[in-house]
Amino acid sequence: MSAEEFEPNIVAFLCNWCSYAGADLAGTSRTQYLPNVKIIRVMCSGRVNPLFLVNALQQGADGVLISGCHPGDCHYMEGNYYARRRYTLMHKLLEHVGVDPGRVNMSWVSASEGAKFKDVVEDTVTKAKEAGPMEQFRRRRINW
């Protein structure tokens, strides 16, 4: 697979109140963005168990994204702070075991930032493209 053809697949965890709403706003404003990012809705970015990131990379995702409310704006007061700490730790750990740090991303997107969501998607995809296909953790697909 050549670098031009490679279209990375990205799993995103968006919090229900800010980032998922921001992605909805990108939709209602017809902001076009890359289709590489597939969204899983969680109530709060604090819900994202860091192992979800590893799991996504194992399943074959080339990049992951966590997005929550801006610091201080969390619907549950402090969930995004927990998410940030866990993310930082997991980011370092994954880098340590040889995963390209560009695969693991986190952003703050509020409910009014549809345009920013597009930018975050583009940024995440660009970084994952640079990192190339994720092959390190591959395991056989589990049939649910």
- Residues of the shown chain interacting with another protein in the complex, contacts defined by CB under 8 A: 8-9, 11, 16-18, 20-21, 23-24, 26-28, 30-33, 35, 38-44, 46-50, 52, 55-62, 72-79, 82-83, 86, 110-113, 133, 141-142, 144
Question: Residues 80-86: contacts with CB within 8 Å, 24+ apart?
Answer: 80/15, 80/44, 80/45, 80/46, 80/108, 81/46, 82/46, 83/44, 83/45, 83/46, 83/48, 86/48, 86/50
Nearer to another protein, 43 or 92 (CB): 43
Compute the least distance from the CB of residue 46 to another protein, in Å.
4
Compute the least distance from the CB of residue 126 to another protein, in Å.
17
The dihedral through the CA atoms of 99, 113, 83, 51 has a sign that is negative
Nearer to another protein, 29 or 101 (CB): 29
Decide if 117 contacts 23 (C-beta within 8 A): yes
Compute the least distance from the CB of residue 101 to another protein, in Å.
19
Strand-pairing partners, residue 64, are: 11, 104
Nearer to another protein, 102 or 110 (CB): 110
Nearer to another protein, 61 or 102 (CB): 61
